[in-house]
Amino acid sequence: MPKLKERRQQIREMSLPEAQRELKELRTRLFNLRLQKQRGEVKNTRIFAQTRKDIARLLHHISQLEAEQ
């Protein structure tokens, strides 16, 4: 569980441009994971859920930052 707390803290500390850049990277990662899954290269499917949850956390953080401006 410490990793989850650390990840949440990292996201909370991000500025808007950093969060948007990270969001783009995670979406690209998820796309690549889907391609790898089709080719049968993915062994740990838990990565999909973790990536989607990180994307959701970032989207929430971005919306909060935009509301503050």
* Token pair listed for 36: 């790898």
Residue 25 is classified by DSSP as H
Q: How many CB atoms lie within 10 A of CB 51?
A: 15
Closest residue by Cα to residue 50 from 36, 33, 35, 37: 33
Instruction: Quote the DSSP letter at residue 45.
Output: T
pLDDT digits 0-9 by tens, 37-56: 999 999 999 999 999 999 99
Look up the pTM and report it.
0.90
Residue 1 has pLDDT above 60, yes or no: no
10-33 pLDDT per residue, tens:
999 999 999 999 999 999 999 999
